[in-house]
Amino acid sequence: MIMSLPIGDRMIEIRFHGRGGQGSVMASKILAKAFFMEEKYVSAFPYYGVERRGAPVTAFTRMDDKPIRARYQIYEPDYVIVLDASLIGAVDVLKGLKKDGYILINTIKSPEEMKKVLNHKNIATVDATTIAIKHHLGSQTAPIVNTAILGAFARMSGLVKIETIMDAIRQAAPAKQEENALAAKEAYENVKLGGD
């Protein structure tokens, strides 16, 4: 089951929640690059609070079939991507999420378990941390999960092909391009979609 929203006549807005050092900002840029490679109009930008490793970071990506004029934060996202489940409770990750919107969480828990925590129906989960560690992305104590989460997003949303995500990663990742691309593919194959 793909958790996709029809693009139709409206822009798709995606908000990333992570911690400094996990690659949220780079994830938003790589996703925008992948959409662009599939001939969509895009924009991607970060919002920094306290700029330090481990502090909450928010990043945004917009995608549309027509030029994007919006230059402000995303307040009512279609999709929310959470790179660190410990942010749930510390940050209101569901704030403004459209009623029919979707949330993807990096966690070992199932979508059903997370539905009880968040009281939201459209949830997918993936253990991006274990995948990142397996592919030696970051360290054991501070894995970089951004590329894995993008692979899971490709499968969950159906908005972008996994091959395009992998190509965008190979072009944009600052290091370990192939390892990052393979982490995305593994997450694509292992994401748990609500109802699975």
pLDDT digits (tens, 9 = 90+) for 20-70: 888 899 999 999 999 999 999 999 988 765 556 678 899 999 999 999 988
Is 90 inside a domain boundary?
yes
Is 1 inside a domain boundary?
no
Cβ–Cβ contacts within 10 Å for residue 109, how many? 16
> How many domains is the chain partitioned into structurally?
1
Residue 71 to residue 69: CA distance in whole angstroms: 6
Is 7 inside a domain boundary?
no
Is 3 inside a domain boundary?
no
Compute the mean pLDDT over every residue in the chain, rounded to the nearest whole number. Answer: 91
Which domain CATH number covers 21?
3.40.920.10
The predicted model gives 152-173 an average pLDDT of 97
Give me the domain span that covers residue 22: 12-193
Question: Any residues with CB less than 8 A from the CB of 99 and at least 6 apart, and which?
Answer: none
Is 72 inside a domain boundary?
yes
Q: Is the pTM of this model over 0.85?
A: yes
Is 157 inside a domain boundary?
yes
Tell me the CA distances in angstroms from 122 to 29, 110, 112, 174, 194, one per residue in order: 24, 12, 10, 33, 7
The predicted model gives 127-154 an average pLDDT of 96
Is 74 inside a domain boundary?
yes
Q: Please list the alpha-helical segments (H only) found in 63-140.
A: 111-118, 128-134
The predicted model gives 120-136 an average pLDDT of 96
Half-sphere exposure (CA, 13 Å, Cβ side) for 196?
19
Confidence (pLDDT) at 70? 85
Is 78 inside a domain boundary?
yes
